[in-house]
Structure 1
Amino acid sequence: MKKKLIAIIALLACFSLILTSCGDKKSVAKEADTADTWSTIQKRGRVIIGLDDTFVPMGFRQKDGNLVGFDIDLAKAVFKEYGIKADFQPIDWNMKETELRNRTIDLIWNGYTITPERLDQIAFSRPYLANRQVLVTKKADDITSFAKMKGKTLGVQTSSSGASLLDEHPKMLKDYIKNRAPVFYDSFNNALMDLDAKRIQGLLIDSVYANYYIQHEKDPASYRVMDGGFTGEDFAVGMRKGDKTLKRKIDAAMQKLSDDGELQKINYKWFGTDKNNMVKPNK
Structure 2
Amino acid sequence: MRFLPGLMLLLPLASPFAHAELMDDVNDRGELRIALEGNQAPYSFQQDGHLTGFDVELGEMLARELEVNSSLLVTDSDDLLSGVESGKYDVAINHMAMTPELQDRFDFSEPYLASPELAIPFQKDNPAFQGSLDKALQRIKADGRLAALSEKWLANDATDPQASDQ
Same fold flag (TM > 0.5): yes
What count of residue pairs does the alignment treat as equivalent? Answer: 145
1:239 equivalenced with 2:122 (yes/no) = yes
2:68 is equivalent to residue 84 of structure 1: yes
Offset from partner CA, 1:99-131 (integer Å, 9 cap, x none)? 112111111111111101111111110111245
Aligned residues with identical type, % of pairs: 27
Match of residue 278, structure 1, among 148, 159, 164: 159
Distance 2:58 2:74 in 1: 17
Deviations, residues 43-98 of structure 1 (Å, cap 9, x unaligned): 21101111111011111111x22111111111111221232111111122123222
What's the C-alpha RMSD, in Å, of the aligned pairs?
1.9
| Partner in structure 1 of residue 80 of structure 2 | 96
SS of alignment partner, residue 70 of structure 2: strand
Q: 1:122, 1:240 within 8 Å by CA — same for their partners in 2?
A: yes
Q: Which runs of 5+ in 2 are unaligned?
A: 1-14, 162-166
Say if 1:127 and 1:235, in contact at 8 Å, map to a contact too.
yes
Tell me the equivalent position of 1:44: 29
Alignment of 1:97-246 (within 5 A): 97-131=81-115, 233-246=116-129
Determine if contact 2:146/2:159 at 8 Å carries over to the other structure.
no
Q: Is residue 2:140 matched to residue 1:257? A: yes
1:71 corresponds to: 55
RCO (CA 8 Å, sep 6+): is it higher in 1 or 2? 1
TM-score by length of 1: 0.48
Corresponding residue SS for 1:86: strand
TM-score, normalised with respect to structure 2:
0.79
Q: Deviation of residue 262 (structure 1)?
A: 1.1
Aligned residue identity for 2:108: F
What stretches of structure 1 of length at least 5 have no aligned partner?
Answer: 1-29, 132-232
Decide whether aligned partners of structure 1 residues 243 and 279 sit closer, same or farther in structure 2, where only a CA change above 3 A counts: farther
